[in-house]
Amino acid sequence: MSEGATGKSVIKTLSGGTRVCCMELTVAQVRGLLEPRQGNDLIDELLLEDVRLPDLPLFTSLKLADLEQMLPSDLEVLVEGCKEANPSFFRMLAKVASLRNPA
């Protein structure tokens, strides 16, 4: 696969009418997301379910500074688009969560 290859993308429209493209990640990018990060605060780690706030720029064309100015409801719309574009990654996260918290 070439470095410039593109995968699936999902366009989401936010509350102000802004359209954002949520992109499918490569396996290497997914591996990078799973690496522990230091320096993230509670908002970064816990505001969104299934993804850290600082990870969203990798899925989208937005910068972290853009995300900081957004409403949580718009961030949820972005996460929905990221899940649509990356179903395998989010299924894997659900499997890991179920192993950590057996019923």
Name the domain count of the chain.
1
- Residue 23 to residue 10: CA distance in whole angstroms: 7
> How many other C-beta atoms lie within 10 A of the C-beta of residue 5?
7
Q: What predicted TM-score, i.e. pTM, was given to this entire model? A: 0.85
User: Has residue 79 been placed in a domain?
Assistant: yes
Q: What is the pLDDT of residue 34?
A: 86
For the purposes of burial, counting CB atoms within 10 Å of the CB of 33, is it exposed (0-12), middle (13-18) or buried (19 or more)?
middle
User: Has residue 2 been placed in a domain?
Assistant: no
Q: Say whether pLDDT at 81 is over 80.
A: yes
Cα–chain center distance at 66: 14
pLDDT band at residue 101 using 50, 70 and 90 as cut-offs = confident
- The H-or-E segment that residue 71 falls in is none
Cα–chain center distance at 83: 7
User: Has residue 3 been placed in a domain?
Assistant: no
User: Has residue 1 been placed in a domain?
Assistant: no
Parent domain of 48: 9-100
Report, as an integer, the average pLDDT of 2-19.
Answer: 84
